[in-house]
C-alpha cells in the first residue's frame, strides 16, 4: 500500500571519537607537558627514544662531561638514579653530552627533567654539529623538586652530533634525569598533523537515509554545504577598509570571520594630540566588522615598548604622572568599546619591555582595571619570539611566559587570561620541533592560545614563501591552538612601494594574489572553508564523511526522483553528538501532515518510533506521535 509513510525518510548523523591510527613502525607524537615541579621525575617520553641510558640506571654510561664541568652519578633515598653536573669555573659550554647519529631533515623532540641542589639555574639543551649549534629550549630549574624540560630541533647534516645539556650558573649543581631524544621523519611529522586534525578539528559523520518502513535508501545522494567553519581563522584589517569597496569585496569573499586592526586602535593613532581623542577610523572599521558578523580582537590598549614610533609623540615617558596618564588611556578605550571585542591585548609585548608594567604593579593593575570595566572579553598577553625562535638570551620563550603569568597572579590579578603568540617568522628557517614543543608547554597553563599576528618575512626574503603553508598546517593542526589571525594586509596604495605590508603581503595594490596569497587561499580551501561535498548511500542506506567542525546544510536527492526531505542545518562541534530527522512532512508539520495515517499502519509508526526513541532529542517528537 502506498501511503504518506513511504515518503518518510530518517537522516541521521553521529560524531564519533577518533583514535590515532599510525603505521605499525611509526611513533605517535606526545603532546603532553607537566608544568608542576614534582618530588620525583616522570618516566622519559618515548622511553628515552634513541638516548642511551636515559634514566642513569647504568651509571654514567653513554654520557660525558663537556668543558670544565665535572660529572657524577647519584641516587636518591628512594632509589632514583640521576646525573649531577657541577660547574665551578666558567659560564659557557660546560655540561653533559651524549653522541648520536644525526640525520638530515629529521625532526628531533627533546625532553628531560632537571633539579638543582640549591637556588635556581638556567638549564639549556642544544645540539652541536659541524655546522654550528642549535638551541632546543631552556627552562629554570630549582631546588627541592624536579622541573620538566621540552624542546626540539632539526639538523641539515647527516653526521655524528652531540646532544648537550648545560647549566648557565656557577656554583650550583644541576641534576639531570629522564632524558629523551626522539627523531621523526618528515612523513611521520606530517602524519602527526593529519591525525591531530582528524581528532581535534574534525568529526566522523554517518548519514543514514531510509524510507518510512525503515528500509535503507540505496543510491541516495547526500549533499553537504559548509555554512560556517568552527575554527577561528582571520586576517588583520587596516583603515582603507572603511571606504575602499574593492578591499571590502576581497575581504568578504574570503569569508574571514575574525580580525584585528593593524594600528587604528593603538594609542599613538587615537590620541595624536594629548587630550584630543579621535576614534572615528576605529569606529568605522568596527562598524564594518559588526555589520558582516566579523569578530575582532582589541589590539592594543598599552604597548610596553618605549620606542617613540609606538607611543604618542607627546608622551613624557619619565613623567611622575605616567601611571595616571596610562590608566586614563585604559579607561577611555575600554569604556568606549565595552562588550564589542572578543579579546583585549592589554599591555603589548611586556616580556620584552617594561614601560607601563613598571608603573602599574607588573601590569596587574591594568589587567584588573580592564577586566573590571569590560568583563566579557579575555584579557590577553601578547608577545613575539615565543615560538619564532629561541636562544639562551631570549627574552620570551614558554618559560618566560609562565613567569609573566605568575608575576600577574602574585601581583593580585586573578581574572581570565589568554596567551597571545604573535608568530612573526623572520630571517631564519622555522624550528618546527621547537614550535610544537613550545605550544605543548604553554598548554599546561590551561589558558586559551591564539596565534595573533601570523606572518613570514616574504617581503624581504621571497624564498621564505615555502614556509607559509607548512607553518599554517603546523599551527592549525596543533590540538592546543584556539585561533589564528594573519598579519597580512592589502590595499597598500597609501604607503611607499616596498613597504606596503609588514613582512608579508597577501595581495598587490590591485588585490591580486601574491604568491603568499595563493598559499593561504589553498590552505583555507583545504582546512577552513572547505568546498561542498557529496556522496551516495550504500546498500545499508549509509554515507560516511569526515567533516571539519562547523555549521552545515545537508540535502538528499533520491534515486527514483521522489520528493526529497527538506534541507536541514546541523552543527558539528568537538565532543558533540546529534541526530537530524529529515522528512517530506517536516516543513508542514504544523499543518498536521501525518493525518493520512490509517489505523492499520500503527505498527509502522511504532517501528519508526522505536528506531529513534533512544535519541533524547526525539522525545518531544515521540510524545507528539503518541498524542496522535
- In a domain, residue 9? The reply is yes
Amino acid 173: pLDDT: 95
Read off the pLDDT of each residue in 612-627 and give the average, rounded to a whole number: 36
Q: Higher confidence at residue 234 or residue 606?
A: 234
Q: Which three cell numbers stand for residue 130?
A: 659541524
For residue 201, the 8-state DSSP code is I
DSSP letters for 230-253: SS-EEE-B-GGGGT-HHHHHHHHH
Per-residue pLDDT at 209: 86
Q: Which residues pair with 81 in a beta bridge?
A: 75
339 and 472 both lie in a single domain: yes
Q: How many Cα neighbours within 13 Å face the side chain of 91?
A: 8
Residue 612: other Cβ atoms inside 10 A: 16
Q: Cα torsion at 134, 137, 143, 144 (round to 10°)?
A: -130
Rounded Cα gap, residues 281 and 272, in angstroms:
13
- Among 122, 164, 127, 168, residue whose Cα is nearest residue 147: 122
Same domain, 357 and 465: yes
| Residue 626 DSSP class | H
Judge if 543 and 416 occupy the same domain.
no
Cell output for 470 = 607548512
- For residues 465 and 546, membership in a common domain is answered with no
Rounded to 5 degrees, φ, ψ at 295 are: -85, 140
Task: For residues 201 and 550, give the distance between their C-alpha atoms in angstroms, rounded to a whole number.
Answer: 9
450 and 382 within one domain? yes
Mean pLDDT of 557-581: 74
Segments forming the whole domain that contains residue 614: 4-18+196-227+531-627
Can you tell me the distance from the alpha carbon of 259 to that of 296, in angstroms, rounded to the nearest whole number? 5
In a domain, 264, yes or no: no
Q: Quick one: CA dihedral 292, 293, 294, 297, positive or negative? A: positive
Secondary element (H or E) of residue 401: helix 398-410
Residue 35 pLDDT exceeds 50: yes
Average pLDDT over residues 563-592: 57
Q: List the CATH number of the domain containing 318.
A: 3.20.20.80
223 and 310, same domain (yes or no): no
Q: What region, left, alpha or beta, does residue 269 occupy, with left being phi > 0 and alpha being psi -120 to 50 degrees?
A: alpha
pLDDT band at 25 (very low <50, low <70, confident <90, very high): low
- Indicate if the pLDDT at residue 582 is higher than 60: no
- CA-CA-CA-CA dihedral for 254, 259, 264, 266, to nearest 10: -160
**Lowest pLDDT segment from 81-85, 535-539, 576-580:** 576-580
Asked whether residue 116 carries a pLDDT value surpassing 90, the answer given is: yes
What would the mean pLDDT of 228-255 be, rounded to a whole number? 95
CA 307 to chain centre: 30
Q: Please indicate, yes or no, whether residues 149 and 204 belong to a single structural domain of this protein.
A: no
Sheet containing 10-12: give its strands across: 10-12, 202-210, 542-548
Whether 459 and 585 share a structural domain: no
Position 16 confidence tier, pLDDT thresholds 50, 70, 90: very low
Q: Pick the residue with more confidence: 226 or 611?
A: 226
Strands (E), 130-263: 132-142, 147-154, 159-167, 174-184, 202-210, 221-229, 233-235, 258-260
pLDDT value at residue 509: 84
Query: Strand 347-348 vs strand 418-421: parallel, antiparallel, or unpaired?
Result: unpaired
In whole angstroms, what is the distance from residue 149 CA to residue 126 CA?
A: 12
**Do the domain assignments include residue 576?**
yes
Domain count, the chain: 3
Please identify which residue in the block is written with the cell numbers 528500509.
215
Radius of gyration of the chain (CA): 29
Q: Is the pLDDT score of 504 beyond 60?
A: yes
Q: Which residues are catalytic?
A: 349, 453
Last residue of a domain, one of 151, 184, 217: 184
Q: Please state the three-class secondary structure of 552-574 as a single string.
A: EEEEEECCCCCCCCCCEEEEECC
CA distance 95 to 71: 8
**What span, in angstroms and rounded, lies between the C-alpha atoms of 430 and 153?**
10
Q: Decide if 443 is inside a domain.
A: yes
Counting residues of the chain whose pLDDT is more than 70, the rounded percentage is 85
Determine the pLDDT at residue 322.
Answer: 98
Largest CA distance in the chain: 97
pLDDT of res. 500? 59
- Is residue 598 pLDDT above 60, yes or no? no
- Angle (CA) 481 292 547, round 5°: 45
Mean pLDDT of the chain: 87
143 shares its domain with 65: yes
Which of 206-220, 421-435, 536-550 has the least mean pLDDT?
206-220
d(C-alpha 174, C-alpha 147), whole Å: 11
According to DSSP, residue 385 is labeled S
Closest of 63, 55, 39 to residue 115, by C-alpha: 39
The residue among 184, 211, 240 that closes a domain is 184
In a shared domain, residues 487 and 539: no
490 and 418 within one domain: yes
Among candidate residues 509, 541, 558, the one where a domain is terminated: 509
What's the rounded mean pLDDT across residues 369-383? 99
Report CA dihedral (423, 429, 433, 435) to the nearest 10 degrees.
-10
Tens-digit pLDDT profile for residues 406-456: 999 999 999 999 999 999 999 789 999 999 999 999 999 999 999 999 999
Facing residues of 65 across strands? 96
| DSSP collapsed to 3 states, 576-601 | CCCCCCCCCCHHHHHHCCCCCCCHHH
Helix, strand, coil percentages for the chain (3-state, nearest 5): 30, 30, 45
What is the spatial distance between Cα 91 and Cα 122, in angstroms, rounded to a whole number?
11
Lowest mean pLDDT among 164-168, 244-248, 264-268, 579-583: 579-583
pLDDT of residue 506: 93
β-pairing, 147-154 vs 70-75, is unpaired
Q: What is the CATH number of the domain that holds 204?
A: 2.60.40
Residue 247 within a domain:
no
User: What integer pLDDT is reported at residue 562 of this predicted model?
Assistant: 72
Confidence band, pLDDT 50/70/90 cuts, at residue 211: confident
Give the confidence band of 590 by pLDDT, cuts at 50, 70, 90.
very low
From first CA to last CA, the distance across the chain in angstroms is 21
Q: Judge contact between 329 and 303, C-beta under 8 A.
A: no
Residue 266 confidence (pLDDT): 98
- Could you tell me if 64 and 39 are in contact, meaning their C-beta atoms sit under 8 angstroms apart? no
pTM of the complete model:
0.89
Mean pLDDT of 47-73: 96
Check which CATH number belongs to the domain holding 91 and give it.
Answer: 2.60.120.260
Residue 23 lies in a domain: no
How many CB atoms are closer than 10 A to CB 534?
15
Residue-wise pLDDT tens digits, 458-472: 988 999 999 999 999
Residue 55 covered by a domain? yes
Neighbours of 140 (CB within 10 A): 15
Query: Quick check: is 432 in a domain?
Result: yes
DSSP state, 47?
Answer: G
Q: Are 481 and 548 part of one and the same domain?
A: no
Amino acid at each position: 500500500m502506498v501511503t504518506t509513510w513511504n515518503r518518510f525518510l530518517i537522516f541521521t548523523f553521529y560524531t564519533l571519537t577518533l583514535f590515532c591510527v599510525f603505521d605499525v613502525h611509526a611513533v605517535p607524537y606526545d603532546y603532553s607537558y607537566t608544568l608542576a615541579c614534582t618530588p620525583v621525575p616522570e618516566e622519559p617520553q618515548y622511553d628515552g627514544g634513541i638516548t642511551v641510558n636515559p634514566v642513569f640506571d647504568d651509571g654514567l654510561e653513554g654520557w660525558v662531561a663537556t668543558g670544565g664541568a665535572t660529572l657524577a652519578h647519584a641516587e636518591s633515598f628512594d632509589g632514583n638514579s640521576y646525573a649531577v653536573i657541577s660547574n665551578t669555573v666558567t659560564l659557557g659550554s660546560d655540561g653533559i653530552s651524549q653522541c648520536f647519529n644525526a640525520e638530515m631533515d629529521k625532526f628531533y623532540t627533546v625532553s628531560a627533567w632537571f633539579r638543582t641542589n640549591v637556588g635556581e639555574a638556567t638549564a639549556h639543551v642544544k645540539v652541536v654539529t659541524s655546522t654550528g649549534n642549535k638551541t632546543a629550549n631552556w627552562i629554570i630549574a630549582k631546588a627541592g623538586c624536579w622541573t620538566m624540560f621540552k624542546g626540539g630541533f632539526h639538523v641539515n647534516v647527516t653526521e655524528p652530533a652531540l646532544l648537550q645539556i648545560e647549566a648557565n650558573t656557577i656554583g650550583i649543581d644541576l641534576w639531570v634525569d629522564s632524558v629523551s631524544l626522539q627523531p621523526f621523519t618528515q612523513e611521520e611529522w606530517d602524519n602527526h598533523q593529519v591525525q591531530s586534525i582528524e581528532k581535534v578539528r574534525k568529526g566522523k559523520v554517518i548519514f543514514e537515509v531510509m524510507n518510512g518502513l525503515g528500509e535503507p535508501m540505496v543510491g541516495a545522494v547526500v549533499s553537504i554545504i559548509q555554512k560556517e567553519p568552527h575554527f577561528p581563522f582571520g586576517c588583520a584589517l587596516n583603515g582603507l577598509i572603511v571606504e575602499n569597496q574593492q578591499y571590502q569585496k576581497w575581504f568578504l569573499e574570503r569569508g574571514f570571520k575574525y580580525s584585528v586592526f593593524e594600528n587604528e586602535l593603538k594609542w599613538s593613532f587615537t590620541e595624536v594630540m594629548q587630550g584630543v581623542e579621535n576614534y572615528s577610523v576605529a569606529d568605522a572599521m568596527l562598524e564594518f566588522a559588526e555589520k558582516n558578523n566579523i569578530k575582532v580582537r582589541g589590539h592594543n590598549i598599552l604597548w610596553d615598548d618605549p620606542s617613540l614610533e609606538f607611543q604618542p609623540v607627546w608622551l613624557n615617558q619619565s613623567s611622575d604622572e605616567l601611571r595616571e596618564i596610562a590608566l586614563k588611556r585604559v579607561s577611555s578605550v575600554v569604556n568606549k568599546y565595552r562588550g564589542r571585542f572578543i579579546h583585549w591585548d592589554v599591555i603589548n609585548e611586556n616580556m620584552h619591555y617594561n614601560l607601563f608594567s613598571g608603573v602599574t604593579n607588573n601590569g596587574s593593575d591594568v589587567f584588573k582595571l580592564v577586566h573590571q570595566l569590560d568583563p566579557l572579553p579575555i584579557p590577553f598577553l601578547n608577545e613575539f619570539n615565543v615560538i619564532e625562535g629561541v636562544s639562551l638570551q631570549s627574552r620570551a620563550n614558554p618559560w618566560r611566559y609562565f613567569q609573566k603569568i605568575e608575576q600577574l597572579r602574585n601581583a593580585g590579578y586573578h581574572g581570565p587570561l589568554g596567551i597571545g603568540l604573535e608568530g612573526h617568522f623572520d630571517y631564519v628557517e622555522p624550528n618546527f620541533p621547537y614550535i610544537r614543543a613550545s605550544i605543548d608547554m604553554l598548554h599546561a597553563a590551561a589558558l586559551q592560545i591564539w596565534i595573533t599576528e601570523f606572518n613570514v618575512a616574504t617581503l624581504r626574503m621571497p624564498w621564505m614563501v615555502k614556509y607559509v603553508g607548512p607553518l599554517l598546517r603546523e599551527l592549525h593542526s596543533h590540538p592546543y591552538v584556539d585561533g589564528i589571525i594573519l598579519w597580512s594586509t592589502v590595499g597598500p596604495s597609501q604607503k611607499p612601494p616596498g613597504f606596503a605590508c609588514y613582512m608579508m603581503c597577501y595581495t598587490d595594490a590591485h588585490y591580486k594574489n601574491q604568491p603568499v596569497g595563493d598559499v593561504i587561499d589553498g590552505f583555507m580551501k583545504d582546512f577552513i572553508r572547505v568546498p561542498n561535498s557529496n556522496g551516495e548511500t550504500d546498500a545499508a542506506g549509509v554515507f560516511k564523511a569526515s567533516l571539519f567542525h562547523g555549521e552545515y546544510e545537508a540535502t538528499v536527492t533520491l534515486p527514483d526522483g521522489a520528493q526529497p526531505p527538506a534541507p536541514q542545518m546541523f552543527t558539528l562541534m568537538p565532543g558533540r553528538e546529534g541526530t537530524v530527522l529529515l522528512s517530506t512532512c517536516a516543513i508542514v508539520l504544523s499543518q498536521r501532515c501525518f493525518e493520512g495515517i490509517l489505523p492499520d499502519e500503527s505498527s509502522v509508526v511504532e517501528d519508526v518510533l522505536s528506531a529513534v526513541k533512544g535519541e533524547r532529542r526525539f522525545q518531544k517528537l515521540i510524545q507528539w506521535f503518541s498524542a496522535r
